[in-house]
Structure 1
Amino acid sequence: MVIEVVSAAFKAELIFLDGPWAGREDVEAATAQWAHWFNTERVHGMLDYRTPAEIEAAYYAQTPAASAA
């Protein structure tokens, strides 16, 4: 279910707004930029208005490091 929401946001915010595209390379570069923005700058209501990167950093900050085997 979540992937459908992300896919719809991606299409609405990038593909349909910024197209038509000159080629696949342009779409790939724009997709990488959009994914970086989505994960590091865009705040999410379901994450208490934090970014996914902030949530991940907080998780790893409170998780003990795995001991070496």
Structure 2
Amino acid sequence: MAMTVRLPEELDRKLEALARERGTSKHALIIEASDRFMRSEAKTARVLAAVDDISIRYAETLRRLEDA
């Protein structure tokens, strides 16, 4: 799917320099960065779900530890 991304000039310059260093395109860097971000967000969601599950499953134990 095509889309236009408007970047601040400074970020565009940094992307251009990094793309040149890596021998790739800014497009490829943006795809890589987007993919990393999405994987990170998915991991965060899984961790938060696990914490919720633990806090429910061990609520009584956690309350007893607070009182100790």
Q: Same fold (TM over 0.5)?
A: no
Larger radius of gyration: 2
Report the TM-score, using the length of structure 1 for normalisation: 0.30
Report the TM-score, using the length of structure 2 for normalisation: 0.30
Ranked by relative contact order (alpha carbons within 8 Å, sequence separation 6 or more), the top structure is 1
- Larger % of helix: which? 2
